[in-house]
Structures are given as C-alpha cells and as structure tokens.
Structure 1
C-alpha cells in the first residue's frame, strides 16, 4: 500500500486495465471461474469451522477457551495481512501474489486437516489467514479490470455472490461434513478448489506491471497491523474474559488504541511515503461505501452468529436442521444479486441500496417477533428476506464505491474495502454476543420478580410443573426462566440490529452517481 511521492500521484500501476485486461476478453469467463473459486475458498473458511469446534476440542484434547484460537488465529492473521495486498501487488505483480496466496492457502488447509495437536492447527490457521487475506481484494480488483465499467454491476453481482454465500453456507456445509465424515474435511475440501483456482489463474490471468523500486512504510505497516491485531483479540476474547474486568483485555484495548493513534500521526505527517494511501479518503463514494460495507459485515455475520445457538440451544433444532432453515437466506442473496446486477444500470443504484437495507430491517423486525411456538417457515422467510436485502445492497454498493475511484487506486481500495467488512463482522459478533450474555442476566432478574404465589399463572399451572418445595423443582424452574431470559436477549439483539440498519439508510444519500462518458481509460479494457 505504500508509495513514494511520485507513485502517490500515479500509483503502482497507472493503467491496470491495459496490463491485466487487454487480451483477456476471450477468457473472461474462465478468469471469472478461477477467481470466484479462490473467493469462495477464503470466505467459506471464515465460518465453516465454527460448528466443528466441539469435535476438534474432543479430538485435540483442548478446552473451550483453547479451541477458540482455531477461529481467532485465522481472523487475526487475515485482518493484519489484508492491508498489505495493495503494496504486494504493486511491488511483485498481481498475478504472482494471487498464485502465491492460493498455493499458500491450499497447503495451509492441508496442514489444518492433518494437525494432531492444538498448537499445530493454530499455526496452520495462522498461515491460512496470512495467505488468504489477499484472495478477496485481488479477486475483486481483477473482476473490475477485466470488465468494462458498464458491466461492473453484473461483474460485482457474480463476485458478491461468492463473498456473501461463503459465510452463509459455511456452517451448513461444515455441519454436514463433520457429521458424515470428520471435522478434518472442513479443511480438506479446499484442496481441489485451490488446485483448480491456481490452474485457472496461471493459465489465463496476465501479470500487471510492477514497480520493483516501490518503497515500503515499515513503521506504518507495523502500527496498523498491531492496532488491527490487538483490536481483533480484544473483540474475540472480551466476552470470555468479562471485558474490562480482565487485565488482558485492558492491555489489548490500550495497545490497539495507542498503535492506531501512532498510525494516524504517521499517516498525517508522512511526506511522500505512507502505508495508507490518503488519496482514498478524498473520494466521497469510497468513504461512504466503507461505512455501509462495515454495516453489511455487521448484519451478515452477527445474524449468522446468533441464529445457530438460538435454534440449537433454545429451540432444540439438530445441527443439520438448523443449517437447512438458515440456508434459504443464501438463496435470497443469490436471487437479489442477479436481479441487482441487471437493474443497476437502469435504476439509480442508491435506490437499490435503500431497498436492500429496508428489506434487511423488515427481516430483523420479523426475527424480533420469534416465539417458542413457531413453525420452521417462520424462520425460513425472515432469513430469505434478509438474504434478498443484503444482495440488493452488496452489488450496487460495491459498484458505486469504486465508480469514482481511479483504477490505479483499486488494489489499495479493494483491500481496505474488504477490511471494513471484516472489522464490521468482528465488532458485530462481539457486541451482539456480549449483549446476549448481559441481557440474559437482566431479563432473568425481571422474570424472577413475577415468580410468586400471588401471580395467577403461578396458581393455575406452575405448581403442577415445578414443585418449589423441592430443590429439583426449584432448579427446573430456574432453568426455564434462564431459557426464556436468553430468548428475550436474542430478540433484543434483533431489534438493535433493525434500528442500526434503518439509521444507516440516510448514508446512501452521500453517494453520487457516476455520469458522462466512460473515457478512454475505461474503454481500454472493455473487451467483449
């Protein structure tokens, strides 16, 4: 991401269109398949291992606290490495970085599958995160470059399906593989995907021009990486360690704040050499797009983190059934993305984004009406509507975010764009799960206040169900109260996310629609 004073004006590749797009028009379909496979492989691994954690813990003799590092190590490594994508592709070439990332990710997946100890799988997941960090931003940059601007919406619809479907289908596929094979297959499944993706990238993608003399802002990289890494650890371990009541959490929060403050100062005072390209902040569409994509990550991942425990723990759904009722959300996303790709050139993209957020808010309102007595269809339809909403948001949002951004800024822009979604998902998951824990206790206290013999419900039915004269009866009643308090806490989370979704809608008005001729720079890679 760093540039000299000269390269800040022109970037590592002044015309990536001609470097990567020229001559590839006849192979656009094969290139798309290759990079979509890489995208699916990376996004799938962000959630596919979640449901297999109990099996891993038993097989590797790890505690619940220890096995969580299988998830944390991957997320932290990916978060730290993502901002490096722009600089690496400018220094060594996009194709070379892409192929290295696919090979490294595939080998790391194999190492995860054959791991025999907790230390081995955590180290392998760290490698997965480091190599996989570049896959999503590079695939997005390639998709934008091999398609003319008037087809960007359709291209982003295809790319967006891979980004959105991976996290949605991850738990379902992971549960099926774990139940029918072993937990190791949630990693082995990446091997054929990685091989096919590598062959396609090697055969059909052309290398971009490189700048071997491109300098690197080591201090900026270190401070940003430390701030992201400490923030990720703070978010992942905060709930487990009771947040600021833990010395570890206080240290992580302090280190994250101090590191980020140093990074801001370094970036603001840099003269020519900066790890973060400040030209990105001059584009209003891009900055607004970051904020909205942050919300997409929060809504998508937080909902996916809340629904499985709600369905399995409180409603008694088996793992496979829970995955099946959540799955239609992905169908809704695919449908709306295909429609949005076609409509974006005919309808103001801002209207589609607004529609998407409103549909998402509607689905969260429906989820906030969940009860213990409901049909599976009551779970399927809100998820399907949420999928529709997120799909309508993703395609036009991605298109508009990069519609006014100069092509030479895309490598940096796509990495920061992906990072905003990752941070949004981390914050969303941590905050929502913390609220569930805290509000369960609060709702438990409120419900207990109504447990007395003066309550008509107590007189009518509870004595037959719970004999408060015995310790077992009192314990059973307390367990039921806790279950209902937890259910109310989940409902409260859905309401909070609904309000956050509606509050985000006005941000769409800050984006401006690209008008006028496409210009020669765009036409250079408009190869049909």
Structure 2
C-alpha cells in the first residue's frame, strides 16, 4: 500500500515550473559571484582602476549582501514572499544592466552594492518557498534537484565569464543576467502565489549600527593603502565609525528587549567556534578567486577564456565532494570530514607557494581541484557542527549571523590579499632593483647595456623585475593564506559533537543541509 503524502504548507498550480523559476533566480545570483572574477583585469583597464581598486567590484557586492541578508526574513513577512522575490529578482536584473553600462569605478561600486542587496535575498527566499511548496516526504528530492541545479553556476561561471569577455566584452558578464532575470520574473508572475503578510517589529537601530560598523570597516580596508593608512584623516574617521558602530550595536543588543540579533547565540561554544572557522574559510577560500585571474592573465599571458577554463575544475570538484559528504553524512564524524577538507586546502595552498611564471597550467588545475574538494568537505559539515548544539529559539538569528560572518570573511580576505599584493610588489621591486648595481658581476657580464644606460635594455630589465616582484608578491599572499588555513586546524579539534539521538536524520534533513551549503 502506497504511503500517504502530507499536504504542503503552500499549494501551487504548477510546482515544476515554479521550482524552475526558483532555480533560475538562484543560478543567476550564484553565477554572478564567480563569473566576474576572470574579467577583473579587463574591467581594470576599461574603468581606469588600479589592481588594488578593482577588487572593490567584488568587496562592495559581498559586504552589501552581508548586511542585507538579515533583512530577508522581516521583509518577507512585511511584503509577502511573492512581492519580495519579484523585487529581489527585478532589482538584481536592473542592477546587472547598470553594471554592464557603468563608465567609472564609483558607478560600478554603487551598482554592485545594489546588486548585492537584492541578490542577498534570492537564495534564502528560494529555499523557503521550495520547503513550503513540497510535502515533507518530497523535500529531500526537491532540495537535491535544487542543489544540483544551482551547483552548475560555479562550475560554468569562470568559463562562461572568460568566453563572454573574450568573444564580446567584459560588460556581458553582467548583461547576461538580463534575459535570465526577465524569464525568471515572467515565470514568478505566472506561477508563484501571494503569501500572507505579517506585521512584525524590526530593530532598525541595531541593524543600522551593525551596517555602519561593517560598512566602515570594509571601506577602511579597501581605501587604506591608497590613503597611506593612518597617515590619512579619512582612515581615522573610518576607524572611529567602525568602533562606534560595533560598540553601540553590542551594547544595544545586550540591553534591548527585542534586539536585531540575540547575542545569546554566542554562548554556544560550537557556534562561536564554527563562526570563527567560517570567517577564516571566507578569507582563505575566496581570496584565491580574486588573485588567480590577474596572475594568470597578466603574468602568465593566458587568455581570459583559458583562464576561465583553468578555474572551472574547482567548481566541479566541489560538487563531487558535496556528493561524497552527502553519502557519508550521519556515518562519519563531521570533525573528521572537516579535518580532511582543511588539510586538502592547506596542501593546495602549499603547492601554490611554489608557483612560477615559467610553469605550465597543470599546477593551476591540480591546486584548483584540491581546493574545490576541500571546499566541498568543509561547508556542509561546518554548518552541521555550528547548529548541532544551538538552542532552537536563536536558530533564525544564528543562521543570519553565520552568513554575515562568512560574507565578512570574504570581503576582508579579498581586501587583505589585495593590500599585501600591492605593498609587497613595491617592496620586492625595490629589493630586486637594489641588486642590479654597477658592481654586480651578473650585471657586468650579462647586462652591460644597463650600465651604459641603453634605454631599451633598461625598459626590458625593468619589465622583468616587475614581473618577478609581482610573482613574489602573489607567493607572499599564498603563504599568508596557508598560515591562516593551518591555524584553523586546531579549532576543528575543539568542536564538540552533537548529542547522540535515537532518531537519525531523515533524507529530507540531509538534503536541506546540502542545498543550504551549495547556496552559500
């Protein structure tokens, strides 16, 4: 006798088409996080931005998404899921079009902030709607299809970005979202029903203070090197805003009756430790995505489309690793899986410290695949451990805070490696140039034209010195990321396992965990 199927929380006319619309919206948003990386060198020259400044294209989006993510639940209640989803997708699509026609870096940063605010709401809403329209017996199947679908984005993102940039123009990495967004909006209008609207209080003061502190911190990191750090009044003002925003947010959260974030969640040892680990992962896992395209194109001379192809194995390896984790979930201690992931990440970064301008492309493919496997082994188990012991009453706030920490790790990491890269290129250039003296035997025997002041020889030698100093600066960044990755390993050993339960996790619960990690 067939098992009776329960009634879903939200009944829709065409569940298949609505699921496809949800996947389209999420794929568009996830794709945007990977597709733009390979086009950064082309954007830099077109927008007149330095290598340090062009990373604002990434960090502005990440920080805006980090700040906007906690708003999703409240806005969903106040506007309804259908209206908010339409607002998010339309806003993201319009912002993508504006990014595609941006003529300067400030314009691009403003449009990316808008894109990040709208994009932050798409994945959480899509998962919520998917849970509501499926009976609990079919949630596992639905989330598995959704998860596998959205994993296409990070696999094809770098290759698609490279192809669009080389065949058409870098602007098409943003403009490609316009037709996808239009189709998604049309499908949502046709197939997504309106949900109940609830009036719920929101702590705008606490949210505003957190946004002020986080935004000022990112601005200080992005502009610090350009302003000569604390030699500039601007940097001191930004630091003051960081301290003020974070301090007032903490005091308000501890004393308000209904704060924006309930800080009691940090009393849970596992969640606090997992949040630190997630921040470190944000720095180490995503910084490489910003570093590799300029290195491969500017130093090694690879085309933008070949650069995208070289970065594609990372996404494929992540998908395979997540499938393995899904199969072993509940059977293997998550801490063991986390250790494997951290060791793979550390080993790949160690291999990257041996990169040279004369190597072929295989080291890039191998290290990318290793990092992809490591990423897949880290995300799902870390989410599982973070919420294994936390109280249900603070779980919603904890989910938002966990996403905020991850995004802040990414933003800080990209800014950090960009600053180190820029400063170490200058240091390395000065040190290498100091060795090219008249008394140097190498200069006398191999570069006599340099001593004679031959302009062509000087230009060639300076180009070689710049190339070597840049390569050494990239290696300095890889060493920094390796140290951070190794430092996270002892923290994994301190995580506590969940209490043994007589009732094992269902397929539905496991599928939700995997899909949630994929969306992140």
TM-score by length of 1: 0.81
Q: Does 1:87 align with 2:70?
A: no
Equivalent pair of 2:9/2:135 in contact (CA under 8 Å): no
Question: Take 1:484 and 1:523, find their aligned partners in 2: how far apart are those partners?
Answer: 52
The C-alpha deviation readout for 1:314-350, integer Å capped at 9, x for no partner, is 2222222222222221221121111112112221111
Q: Which residue of 1 aligns with 2:249?
A: 263
Residue 393 of structure 1 deviates from its aligned partner by 0.7
Question: Take 2:143 and 2:254, find their aligned partners in 1: how far apart are those partners?
Answer: 35
Q: Which residue of 2 aligns with 1:9?
A: none
Q: Which residue of 1 aligns with 2:484?
A: 500
Residue 141 of structure 1 deviates from its aligned partner by 5.3
Q: Does 1:103 align with 2:90?
A: yes
Question: Take 1:299 and 1:526, find their aligned partners in 2: how far apart are those partners?
Answer: 26
Root-mean-square deviation (Å): 4.0
Q: Does 1:470 align with 2:415?
A: no
SS in 1 for 2:452: coil
Q: Does 1:186 align with 2:203?
A: no
The C-alpha deviation readout for 1:268-289, integer Å capped at 9, x for no partner, is 111x221112343243333333
Residue 30 of structure 1 deviates from its aligned partner by 6.6
Residues 1:279 and 1:82: Cα distance change in structure 2 (over 3 Å) = same
Q: Which residue of 1 aligns with 2:470?
A: 486
Q: Which residue of 2 aligns with 1:14?
A: none
Residue 361 of structure 1 deviates from its aligned partner by 0.4
Question: Take 1:181 and 1:190, find their aligned partners in 2: how far apart are those partners?
Answer: 15
The C-alpha deviation readout for 1:214-243, integer Å capped at 9, x for no partner, is 212221121111112212222222233332
Alignment of 1:79-158 (within 5 A): 79-113=66-100, 123-139=110-126, 155=143
Q: Which residue of 2 aligns with 1:15?
A: none
Residues 1:249 and 1:222: Cα distance change in structure 2 (over 3 Å) = same
Question: Take 1:355 and 1:157, find their aligned partners in 2: how far apart are those partners?
Answer: 27
Equivalent pair of 1:137/1:418 in contact (CA under 8 Å): no
Residue 504 of structure 1 deviates from its aligned partner by 0.6
- Between stretches 322-331 and 183-192, larger displacement belongs to 183-192
Equivalent pair of 2:342/2:374 in contact (CA under 8 Å): yes
Residues 1:51 and 1:149: Cα distance change in structure 2 (over 3 Å) = same
Residue 383 of structure 1 deviates from its aligned partner by 1.1
Q: Which residue of 1 aligns with 2:202?
A: 216
Residue 417 of structure 1 deviates from its aligned partner by 2.2
Question: Take 2:35 and 2:396, find their aligned partners in 1: how far apart are those partners?
Answer: 27
Residues 1:47 and 1:524: Cα distance change in structure 2 (over 3 Å) = closer
SS in 1 for 2:472: helix
Residue 111 of structure 1 deviates from its aligned partner by 4.1
Equivalent pair of 1:156/1:341 in contact (CA under 8 Å): no
Residues 1:180 and 1:520: Cα distance change in structure 2 (over 3 Å) = closer
Q: Which residue of 2 aligns with 1:370?
A: 355
Equivalent pair of 1:161/1:334 in contact (CA under 8 Å): no
SS in 1 for 2:332: coil
Q: Which residue of 1 aligns with 2:3?
A: none
Residue 429 of structure 1 deviates from its aligned partner by 1.0
Residue 386 of structure 1 deviates from its aligned partner by 0.9
Question: Take 1:459 and 1:58, find their aligned partners in 2: how far apart are those partners?
Answer: 37
Pick aligned residue for 2:320 from 330, 335, 355: 335
Q: Does 1:175 align with 2:162?
A: yes
Question: Take 2:497 and 2:194, find their aligned partners in 1: how far apart are those partners?
Answer: 33
Residue 112 of structure 1 deviates from its aligned partner by 3.8
Question: Take 1:365 and 1:103, find their aligned partners in 2: how far apart are those partners?
Answer: 43
Question: Take 1:149 and 1:454, find their aligned partners in 2: how far apart are those partners?
Answer: 79
Q: Which residue of 2 aligns with 1:249?
A: 235
Pick aligned residue for 1:307 from 292, 312, 319: 292
Residue 490 of structure 1 deviates from its aligned partner by 1.1
SS in 2 for 1:335: helix
SS in 1 for 2:354: coil
- Between stretches 256-265 and 140-149, larger displacement belongs to 140-149
Equivalent pair of 1:337/1:391 in contact (CA under 8 Å): yes
Residues 1:251 and 1:488: Cα distance change in structure 2 (over 3 Å) = same
Residue 480 of structure 1 deviates from its aligned partner by 1.9
- Between stretches 372-381 and 143-152, larger displacement belongs to 143-152
Equivalent pair of 2:67/2:404 in contact (CA under 8 Å): no
Equivalent residues, number: 502
Residues 1:301 and 1:526: Cα distance change in structure 2 (over 3 Å) = closer
Residue 364 of structure 1 deviates from its aligned partner by 0.3
Equivalent pair of 2:337/2:377 in contact (CA under 8 Å): yes
Residue 76 of structure 1 deviates from its aligned partner by 4.5
Residue 412 of structure 1 deviates from its aligned partner by 3.2
Q: Does 1:346 align with 2:334?
A: no
Residue 158 of structure 1 deviates from its aligned partner by 6.3
Q: Which residue of 2 aligns with 1:4?
A: none
Question: Take 1:524 and 1:281, find their aligned partners in 2: how far apart are those partners?
Answer: 24
The C-alpha deviation readout for 1:393-414, integer Å capped at 9, x for no partner, is 1122223333445666554333
Question: Take 1:105 and 1:206, find their aligned partners in 2: how far apart are those partners?
Answer: 21
Q: Does 1:45 align with 2:28?
A: no
Residues 1:412 and 1:480: Cα distance change in structure 2 (over 3 Å) = same
SS in 2 for 1:291: helix
Question: Take 2:168 and 2:123, find their aligned partners in 1: how far apart are those partners?
Answer: 29
Q: Which residue of 1 aligns with 2:215?
A: 229
TM-score by length of 2: 0.82
Equivalent pair of 1:294/1:425 in contact (CA under 8 Å): yes
